[in-house]
Amino acid sequence: MATSWADSVAASEKVETQFSSEQAYQPRLARPTYVPPHLRSRPPSSGSPAPPSAATPAANDRGSYGGPPAGARSAGGFRPDVGRSGYVAAGGWNGRSGGWDRGRDREVNPFPDTDGTEQGLIEQENAVINFDAYEDIPVEATGDNVPPPANTFAEIDLGDALNLNIQRCKYVRPTPIQRHAIPISLAGRDLMACAQTGSGKTAAFCFPIISGIMYGQYVQRPRGRTAYPLALILSPTRELSIQIHEEARKFSYQTGVKVVVAYGGAPINQQLRELERGVDILVATPGRLVDMLERARVSLQMIKYLALDEADRMLDMGFEPQIRKIVEQMGMPTRGLRQTMLFSATFPKEIQRLASDFLSNYIYLTVGRVGSSTDLIVQRVEYVNESDKRSHLMDLLHAQRENGVHGKHALTLVFVETKRGADSLENWLYANGFPATSIHGDRSQQERELALRSFKSGRTPILVATDVAARGLDIPHVAHVVNFDLPNDIDDYVHRIGRTGRAGKTGLATAFFNENNSSLARPLAELMQEANQEVPVWLPRYASRSHGGGRNRRSGGSRFGGRDFRRESSFNRGTDYYGGGYNSTGHGISAGYGAYGVYGAGVTSAWE
Ligand SMILES: Nc1ncnc2c1ncn2[C@@H]1O[C@H](COP(=O)(O)OP(=O)(O)OP(=O)(O)O)[C@@H](O)[C@H]1O
C-alpha cells in the first residue's frame, strides 16, 4: 500500500512536539469557577444528560483575567557568530533600522527547553519522524523552467545557522511541499503553492525568506522612526500571525534575521517600539499594517519578499482591495522586483486569477494527495436537526469521555456559524459540566489569546469557535473537530477539519448535517469519496435537491489542489505563461480536495 509523508510521520505520534507553542507560556493558576449570570442557581435542563461528575472540573476562561502572560522564554545567548562564514547582510544585525539593534537587544531563545547543544539535537533526531515514502505523493508544477525538488535539507543548503534551527525543531526531512517549494523560492521564482492542511507550508515560505536575507546584500536601510522590513508575511487572522511569528522566530534564531509581528486588537505602541528596534521580516494582519503604513511608521520600499499565507482567503471578496492597496499602492517594489509567494490548501480559480496580478512568471505548484492528511482524518457526517444539535453534541462528548479520549491530550474543536452561537454554546456546555471556552471576533484580543492558551494547554479541552479559528492554527492534540454548524463553502470545511490530522497525526471530524446544508451535500460527498471516507447513503439525496449551490466552489469538478488556471485555453491564448513543469508521480493528481467552480458569496468572519 502506498504510504505518504503523513503516514510515515504517524509512527512518530508518541514523540511529543518539543517546541509546541503552548510551552511558551507559563502554567496558569487555577481560577475561581465562573458561572454565567443567567445560569446561576439554575438546575441542569431536564432534557440534557446529567452533568459529569465532579472529578472533571468544568472550566472556561471567563473568570478574572490576569492579562497576557509574560511567557516563559529564557534569555538565550545571542551569538552572532553562528551563521554562515562570510555572512554580511544589511538585514541581520548590521543595519540599525533593520535586524537586531545590537546595543539594546539580546535575542531571546525560542527553544526554552533545550540547551541547544548539537549533541542534544543529534540525540533527539533518533526519536523523530521517519519520512520514507515520498514518492507516491503526486506533485504537479507548471510554469517555465521549474527548478527540480530536493530530497534533504542538506541538499537545499540553507546555511548552518538555519540548519541548526531546523534540527532544533526536530525536522529531519523536508515535507513534500518543502521539497518542491523551497528550491523554487531559492531560485528566486514567484510561486503559487497549494498543499494540504498541516503539511508544513509555514516553513516552506519562511526558510527561503530567512536564507535569502542571510545571504542577501542590501543597501543600508535608513535610520529613524520608520521601519524598513525586507520581507512581509501577511496572514488573515491575528492568532495565525502570532503563530507564524513564533515559528519564524525559531527558524531565524541566531541567524541575525529579526522577525516582528503586528496585529490588531493589541496595543499599537508596543508593536511600534518593537519595530523601531529593527525588523527584517514583518508578519502582519492587513488592518494593523495599513494603520502603521498610514502613520509612516513602516515603509514597504525595501520589501524583497512578499508571502501571503492562506492566500485565497487574503484575496477573498471584500478583502482583496485592502491587499491590493498594500501591495500596489504603498510603495512596495513592483512584481518582478520583489519575490512573491502565495500559499494555501485551497485555491479557487477565480482567486488564482486575481492573485496572478501580484506575480511575475510564476510557478504553480500542487502537492497532494494519495495518503495525504485528509486520509488521516476520519470524516463522519450525521443527520442532526437544528433542535437536536446540543444534545447530540453532548452525547458525543460523553462518549468521548467514556472512551477515555476526552482530556488534556485529546482536544475537541467545535465550529459554529455565529459569534452569538459560539457564546451561547460555550455557556451551555459550561453549564452542563463540560470545560469549554470560545474564540470569535466579538471577544477582546486578550480573551481570544487566553482562550486559545487555555485550550492548547488542555485546561479547557473544548473550544467553541467561529471561522476565526478555521485556518492555519497548528494546535497539537486536536483529536476531534465537530462542525456543529456546517460552513457554506466546502473550502472552509477543508480548512476547519484540517485543524486535526496534522503532521502525520490521525484525527476525527464529525459534521452535523440537515436540510439547511443541502447546498453543501454534493461537494461534501465528493470530498469524502475522494478521501476514501464512507459517504452516508442519504447524503447524495440532498445533493440532488440543492439547486446549484453557488457557494460551493468544487461544483465544477474536483481534483486535489485544483489546477493552474493558466492552463485553461481561454486564459492561455495569446500568453506564454504556461510552460514546462513536471508531474512527479506519473499518475497525476487524481483525487482529493481542491478549488473549483464559481467563487461565490460565502464570506465568513475570519478577517482581522
Ligand atoms: N519537515 C518537517 N518535519 C516535521 N514536522 C514538520 C516539518 N515541517 C513542518 N512540520 C510541522 O508540521 C506541522 C504543520 O505545519 P504548518 O502549520 O506549517 O502546516 P500548514 O501546511 O501551514 O497547515 P495549514 O494549511 O493548516 O495552515 C507543524 O507543527 C510543523 O512544526
One DSSP character per residue, 507-569 reads EEEEEEE-GGGHHHHHHHHHHHHHTTPPPPTTHHHHHHHS---TT-GGGG---TT---GGGSH
The answer to which of 364-368, 388-392, 566-570 has the lowest mean pLDDT is 566-570
With CA atoms as reference, report the closest residue to 134 among 2, 276, 21, 39: 2
pLDDT at site 298: 98
CB atoms within 10 A of CB 523: 26
pLDDT at site 546: 65
Residue with cell 514597504: 300
How many CA within 13 A on the CB side of residue 342? 27
Is the pLDDT at 539 greater than 70, yes or no? yes
Rounded to whole angstroms, the Cα distance separating 408 from 267 reads 32
With CA atoms as reference, report the closest residue to 565 among 592, 531, 591, 599: 599
Q: Three-state SS for 332?
A: coil
Which pairs from 266-270 meet CB under 8 Å and 24+ separation?
A: 266/238, 266/445, 268/292
**C-alpha distances in angstroms, 7 versus 12, 133, 350, 411, 433?**
10, 8, 33, 21, 36
Residue-wise pLDDT for 18-53, tens only, equals 223 323 223 333 333 433 333 333 333 433 333 333
Supply the DSSP string of 516-529, one letter for each residue.
GGHHHHHHHHHHHH
503 close to ligand 1 (CB < 6 Angstrom): yes
Probe target for ligand 1 pocket from 495, 502, 505, with the most ligand atoms within 8 Å of CB: 502
For residues 136 and 585, the answer to whether their CB atoms sit within 8 Å is: yes
With CA atoms as reference, report the closest residue to 308 among 339, 331, 279, 277: 339
**197 CA: nearest ligand 1 atom:** 25
197 close to ligand 1 (CB < 6 Angstrom): yes
**175 CA: nearest ligand 1 atom:** 1
Q: In terms of pLDDT, which residue wins out, 567 or 526?
A: 526
**504 CA: nearest ligand 1 atom:** 12
Count of H helices and E strands in the chain?
Answer: 20, 15
Is the pLDDT at 213 greater than 70, yes or no? yes
Rounded to whole angstroms, the Cα distance separating 570 from 13 reads 47
**129 CA: nearest ligand 1 atom:** 4
Most confident of 21-30, 126-135, 484-493: 484-493
pLDDT category of residue 125 using cuts at 50, 70 and 90: very low
pLDDT at site 194: 93
For residues 369 and 497, the answer to whether their CB atoms sit within 8 Å is: no
C-alpha torsion 234→238→415→49, nearest 10: 160
Over residues 190-198, the mean pLDDT reads 93
pLDDT at site 592: 29
**17 CA: nearest ligand 1 atom:** 29
pLDDT at site 16: 29
**C-alpha distances in angstroms, 216 versus 213, 231, 357?**
5, 12, 26
Give the containing element (helix H, strand E) for 281: strand 281-284
Q: What is the mean pLDDT of the chain?
A: 76
pLDDT at site 329: 97
Is the pLDDT at 60 greater than 70, yes or no? no
pLDDT at site 565: 81
**Residue 114: Cβ-neighbour burial (10 angstroms; 0-12, 13-18, 19+):** middle
Rounded to whole angstroms, the Cα distance separating 264 from 269 reads 12
Over residues 457-463, the mean pLDDT reads 94
Sheet holding 478-483, edge to edge: 377-383, 507-513, 478-483, 411-415, 462-465, 436-439
502 close to ligand 1 (CB < 6 Angstrom): yes
What is the CA(414)–ligand 1 centre distance, in A? Answer: 22
Q: In terms of pLDDT, which residue wins out, 86 or 287?
A: 287
**177 CA: nearest ligand 1 atom:** 21
pLDDT at site 99: 61
For residues 381 and 524, the answer to whether their CB atoms sit within 8 Å is: yes
pLDDT category of residue 135 using cuts at 50, 70 and 90: low
Q: Three-state SS for 248?
A: helix
**Residue 405: Cβ-neighbour burial (10 angstroms; 0-12, 13-18, 19+):** middle
**C-alpha distances in angstroms, 154 versus 172, 183, 207?**
10, 12, 13
- Phi (first) and psi of residue 503, to 5 degrees: 45, 45
> At residue 536, what is the residue type?
P
pLDDT category of residue 450 using cuts at 50, 70 and 90: very high
Going by alpha carbons, the residue nearest to atom 9 of ligand 1 is: 200
Going by alpha carbons, the residue nearest to atom 5 of ligand 1 is: 171
Ramachandran category for residue 336: left, alpha or beta (phi over 0 → left; psi -120 to 50 → alpha): left
Contacts of 355 (CB under 8 A, 6+ apart): 192, 308, 311, 312, 315, 342, 347
With CA atoms as reference, report the closest residue to 190 among 291, 10, 338: 338
CB atoms within 10 A of CB 441: 17
ipTM of model over 0.95: yes
200 close to ligand 1 (CB < 6 Angstrom): yes
Is the pLDDT at 63 greater than 80, yes or no? no
Contacts of 569 (CB under 8 A, 6+ apart): none
Probe target for ligand 1 pocket from 131, 171, 377, with the most ligand atoms within 8 Å of CB: 171
For residues 105 and 277, the answer to whether their CB atoms sit within 8 Å is: yes
pLDDT at site 402: 73
With CA atoms as reference, report the closest residue to 176 among 450, 584, 596: 584
For residues 438 and 426, the answer to whether their CB atoms sit within 8 Å is: yes
What is the CA(181)–ligand 1 centre distance, in A? Answer: 14
Over residues 520-547, the mean pLDDT reads 88
**20 CA: nearest ligand 1 atom:** 29
Question: In the 8-state DSSP scheme, what is residue 52?
Answer: P
pLDDT at site 11: 39
Q: In terms of pLDDT, which residue wins out, 454 or 76?
A: 454
Probe target for ligand 1 pocket from 201, 310, 344, 492, with the most ligand atoms within 8 Å of CB: 201
Going by alpha carbons, the residue nearest to atom 30 of ligand 1 is: 200
Residue-wise pLDDT for 255-282, tens only, equals 999 999 999 999 999 999 999 999 999 9
Residue-wise pLDDT for 542-599, tens only, equals 987 765 443 444 433 334 456 778 876 454 444 333 445 666 653 333 322 222 222 2
Q: In terms of pLDDT, which residue wins out, 40 or 214?
A: 214
Give the containing element (helix H, strand E) for 120: helix 118-126
What is the CA(175)–ligand 1 centre distance, in A? Answer: 8
pLDDT at site 93: 41
**345 CA: nearest ligand 1 atom:** 25
What is the CA(472)–ligand 1 centre distance, in A? Answer: 9
The answer to which of 1-5, 106-110, 243-247, 443-447 has the lowest mean pLDDT is 1-5
Residue-wise pLDDT for 290-345, tens only, equals 999 999 999 999 999 999 999 999 998 778 999 999 999 999 999 999 999 999 99
Rounded to whole angstroms, the Cα distance separating 251 from 110 reads 9
Residue-wise pLDDT for 406-432, tens only, equals 555 689 999 999 999 999 999 999 999
Rounded to whole angstroms, the Cα distance separating 294 from 282 reads 16
